[in-house]
Amino acid sequence: MRVYLDNNATTLVDPHVFAEMEPYFVQKYGNPNSLHSFASETHPGLKDAMEKIYAGIHAPKEDSVVITSCATESNNWVFKSIYFEYILTGRKNHIIVSEVEHPSVIATAKFIESMGCKVTYLPINHEGLVDPQTVRDSITSKTALVSVMWANNETGAIFPVEEIGAICAEHNVLFHTDAVQAIGKIPVDVQSFNVDYLTFSAHKFHGPKGVGGLYMKKGRELSPLLHGGSQMGGYRSGTLNVAGIVGMGKAMEQAIDALDFEMTDVREMRDAFEDELLKIPDTFVVTPREKRTPNTILISFRGIEGESMLWDLNRAGIGASTGSACASEDLESNPVMEAIGAEADLAHTAVRFSLSRYTTQEELDYTIEVVRKAVERLRGISSSYAYAPEGHKSGLDTHH
Amino acid sequence: MGMDSLIGGTIWDEYSQKVTDLMNNPQNMGEITKEQATEMGAELIVADFGAESCGDAVRLYWAVDPKTDVIKEAKFKSFGCGTAIASSDTMVELCRGKTVDEAVKITNIDVEKAMRDTPDVPAVPPQKMHCSVMAYDVIKKAAAQYKGVDIESFEEEIIVCECARVSLSTLKEVIRLNDLTTIEQITDYTKAGAFCKSCIKPGGHEAKDIYLVDLLAEYEKEKLARTAAPGANVSFAEMTVVQRLKAVERIIDENIRQMLVMDGGDMEILDIKENGAHFDIYIRYLGACSGCASSSTGTLFAIENILKEKLDENIRVLPI
C-alpha cells in the first residue's frame, strides 16, 4: 500500500483539473498575445480560469490577481518591489515578518536586510501562533510592510490575519499574507478583512506545479519584478502559462466546492487519526487542533529522530515529512520547533502528516499500524530509552 | 555547481546497500548490563555522546577485559538518522576484539569506508558525513572513561573539518604551500568543507571555533603584509623610488587595471613625487578612460582610495 500524507508539500493533480488542461498542449497551443485564431482560441479558457481564480478568493474585479510561476515568485515580488519603492528611496526603512514564514519569505527578507532594510522577526508563542500585539508593538513610522502567513506549513497553525490586517490599516502599513496553506482548507476572502497582497500556489490545492498568483488590492499595485513583453497588464511579463492558468482555475473551483468536505470530513478523519497517534506513549502535538488547518498534524515521538521515522514510514510506502536537522538537504533544524520553544529533546523528533480530500480511512488505519511498529522498533534502537548502570552520568559532550 | 547539483537528489538514494541494511536491521544494537560484563570477567564502560536536542546521540557499551585491555563485547544505542545508526553499528563492529588503544585509532572515515559496497563509491552522500563523526567521538569518550583520563588527551591536534578529519595545521600548511585563495580550492586539496559544510563559515549546522573563511582571511592578510613592502616590512615612506613605483604598479594591477580594461580603457604611471607630507602620483589615462567624465571624479577617487588604503594615507593621485 502506498499512502501520501505530505499534502502540505504538494498534492496530486485532480483528474478533472488535468482533463481541463490537456487541450492546451497539443491542440490549443497558441500564444494568447498573438493576432490569429491560434491565439484567440485560448482566450475563453483563460477568461473562465481567471474568473474562477477571482471568485476563489472573492477578489473584486478592480483588484489585480496576477498569475506568477509559483508562490516563491509572488513572495519575492512583494519584498523586492517594496524594497525598491520604499526602502531604497528612503521613504521607509523597516519591514515585519513572523519568524516561521516559508523560506521564500524569510530568505527574501534576509536578502533585503543585507541591502540595508531593518527587519523585525516576530516570535511565535507556545501554541505556534503570532500574537497580534507583537505586530502593534513592532510597527514604527518607518515600517513599510507587515508579512504574516495565513496558515503555517509545518504546524497548520492559523494566524490571526484579520486582526493583524486591522492593525496594519490603523497604522497605514501595507499588509501581505502568504495564503499558500490556507486556500482549499479554510475560507479565504480578501474582502472580509484588510489585506493588500496575498500569495497562493496551485499545486497546494490539487492544481499543477509551476503556477501561482499574487493578489494586489487596487491602488496598491507593485512595480513588476519581471520586465518584458508586458503580459498580465504589464505587471508580470512572460508568455502566459495557458495550461497552468486553466488548471489553476479549475483547481480553485474544485477547492472551493470541496471546502465544506475539507472542514468537516477531512477534519474528522484527521482528528480521529491524531487521537490514535496520541495513544502512543510520549507523543506530543504542536498547536491545539481547533487552531489548525483541518488537514495538518505536527507530532513528536520522543526518542525518535524525525528522519528515522520517515525512513520506516517510507519503507512501508507512506510519505510524510519532517523539518528535522538531518532530513533536509541543507541540514537546517526545524524552525517551528525551535521557535515554539518546544522541549529541546523534542526539537528533532517532529513528523508532519498532512491529509487531503483524497485521503481515505483505510490509508490512515494502515498508517497507524505502521507508526506503532516504527515507534517500537526505533525506540528499541534509541539511546533515549537505553539501559544505563547505576550512577551513570549521561554525558552531554557534544560536537555541536 | 553544475547539472548534478541543480535538481538535488534524495539523500537516501545515495546510501550504500550496507548502510540501508544496517538501518533496517542493526547488527550490534543493544545493551550490556553490569551483570553481563561481570559474567564475562570484564569491566563495563558506558559512554554517551551527542544529545537529542542536537539531533543525534549515541550510547556505547564496552565490556573490557582489565588484564588485556581487549574489548570483549560492544553494543550501542542511538538516537539519530539512518547514517547515525548505521555508522554506530559499524563502529561497534570495528571496536570488538580490539584493545582500547587500537580502538581509539578508529576514525569516522574508517567507519564510512567500512560501510561502502565498492571501495571507490562513498557509503553516504557528503551532507550525511557529519552524522558519522559521533561514532568516532564516542570511542574517545569510552576510552577516556576506561583509562580515567580526559577526553582531550586523545585529540592530538585541533580538527577544523570533523567530517574529513582535517587538522588546523594541515590546512594552514596546504593553504600556504599552494597559495590557495578560495574555499573550493581548499576542498579540492584537502576534502575539508566537502561534507556537511559547517566548517566553511558561521551559520552552518554546527558552530565552530575556527572556520575555513577565517584561515583564508588570515592567509590573505599575511600575504598582503608581505607584499605591501617587497623585500622587507618597510612602509611606503621608507621605500626607495623604484620600490614605490613597483608597489603602486602592483596595487594597480591587482585592484584597478581590470576594472578600467573592462570599460575599454587603461592607465599608466608617469611619476611619483614627494610634496611636503604628500606623495603625488601622476597618472595618464589611456583608451576609453581619457575623456571619460568619471576619470576625474568617481574613478579617480576609487584609485586614490585604494592606494591610500593599501600603501599610504598621504597619497594623492593626479591625472595629467
Question: Averaged in consecutive runs of 10 residues, what is the pLDDT profile of chain B (320 residues)?
Answer: 76 93 97 96 94 86 97 96 94 96 91 94 86 85 91 77 83 86 86 83 80 91 73 74 86 84 84 88 83 74 87 88
Nearest to B31 by CA among B66, B58, B67: B58
CATH of domain A15-257: 3.40.640.10
Query: How big is chain A by its Cα radius of gyration, in Å?
Result: 22
What DSSP character marks residue B72? E
pTM: 0.81
Sorted by where each begins, the domain ranges of chain B are: 3-155, 166-227, 236-319
- pLDDT band at A395; cut points 50, 70, 90: low
pLDDT at A338: 72
Distance from CA of A110 to the nearest CA of B (A): 13
Contact of B12 with chain A, judged by CB distance below 8 Å, is answered with yes
Task: Tell me if B49 sits within 8 A of B58, measured CB to CB.
Answer: yes
pLDDT at B159: 84
CB contact under 8 A, A308 and B85: yes
H or E, element range at A231? none
ipTM above 0.90, yes or no: no
pLDDT at A323: 66
pLDDT at B162: 82
Cβ-based contacts of B83 with chain A (< 8 Å):
326
pLDDT mean over A135-143: 98
What DSSP character marks residue A383? G
Question: How many CA within 13 A on the CB side of residue A48?
Answer: 15
Nearest residue of B to residue A391 by CA position? B46
Catalytic annotation present for B131: yes
Active-site amino acid positions of A: 326
Distance from CA of B268 to the nearest CA of A (A): 36
Instruction: Out of A14-18, A155-159, A383-387, pick the least confident.
Output: A383-387
CA distance A74 to A204: 15
pLDDT at B190: 80
For the cut 60, the answer to whether the pLDDT of residue A22 exceeds it is: yes
CA distance B23 to A309: 11
For the cut 60, the answer to whether the pLDDT of residue A398 exceeds it is: no
Nearest residue of B to residue A345 by CA position? B53
Task: Tell me if A271 sits within 8 A of A277, measured CB to CB.
Answer: no
Secondary structure class of B27 (helix, strand, coil): coil
Contact of B44 with chain A, judged by CB distance below 8 Å, is answered with yes
DSSP A11-62: -PPPHHHHHHHTHHHHTS---TTSSSHHHHTTHHHHHHHHHHHHHHHT--TT
- Tell me the three-class secondary structure of A296-356, residue by residue: EEEEEECCCCHHHHHHHHHHCCEECECCCCCCCCCCCCCHHHHHCCCCHHHCCCEEEEECC
pLDDT at A71: 97
Instruction: Out of A35-49, A345-359, B159-173, pick the least confident.
Output: B159-173
List where CATH 3.90.1150.10 sits in chain A: 259-381
List where CATH 3.40.640.10 sits in chain A: 15-257
B205 vs A331, A344, A346: nearest CB: A331
For the cut 60, the answer to whether the pLDDT of residue A400 exceeds it is: no
Cβ-based contacts of B134 with chain A (< 8 Å):
399
Name the β-bridge partners of A351.
A299
Q: Supply angle C-alpha A359, A360, A363, rounded to 5.
A: 95
For residue range A71-128, list pLDDT tens digits in order.
999 999 999 999 999 999 999 999 999 999 999 999 999 999 999 999 999 999 989 9
Could you tell me the CATH superfamily of domain B236-319? Fe-S cluster assembly (FSCA) (3.30.300.130)
Name the β-bridge partners of A145.
A95, A174
pLDDT at A152: 95
Contact of B140 with chain A, judged by CB distance below 8 Å, is answered with no
Can you tell me which residue has the cell 495557458?
A242
For residue range A144-199, list pLDDT tens digits in order.
999 999 999 999 999 999 999 999 999 999 999 999 999 999 999 999 999 999 99
- Tell me the three-class secondary structure of A196-230, residue by residue: CEEEEEHHHHCCCCCCEEEEECCCCCCCCCCCCCC
Q: Does domain A259-381 have CATH number 3.40.50.720?
A: no
Q: Does domain B3-155 have CATH number 3.90.1010.10?
A: yes
H or E, element range at A4? strand A3-4
Task: Tell me if B76 sits within 8 A of B61, measured CB to CB.
Answer: yes
What DSSP character marks residue B29? B
For residue range B102-140, list pLDDT tens digits in order.
999 998 889 999 999 999 999 998 878 888 888 888 999
Cβ-based contacts of B11 with chain A (< 8 Å):
329
**Best-predicted range by mean pLDDT (A328-332, A343-347, B208-212):** B208-212
Task: Tell me if A78 sits within 8 A of A128, measured CB to CB.
Answer: no
- Tell me the three-class secondary structure of B238-290, residue by residue: HCCHHHHHHHHHHHHHHHHHHHHHHCCEEEEEEEEEEECCEEEEEEEEEECCC
What DSSP character marks residue A111? H
Nearest residue of B to residue A384 by CA position? B79
Name the β-bridge partners of A157.
A292
Secondary structure class of A370 (helix, strand, coil): helix
CA distance B63 to A88: 67
Cβ-based contacts of B56 with chain A (< 8 Å):
305, 326, 348
For residue range A292-319, list pLDDT tens digits in order.
999 999 999 999 999 999 999 999 999 9
Which residues of A lie inside 8 Å of B (Cβ-Cβ)?
A: 303-305, 307-308, 311, 314-315, 324-327, 329-333, 344-349, 380-390, 392, 394-400
For the cut 50, the answer to whether the pLDDT of residue A331 exceeds it is: no
Nearest residue of B to residue A326 by CA position? B81
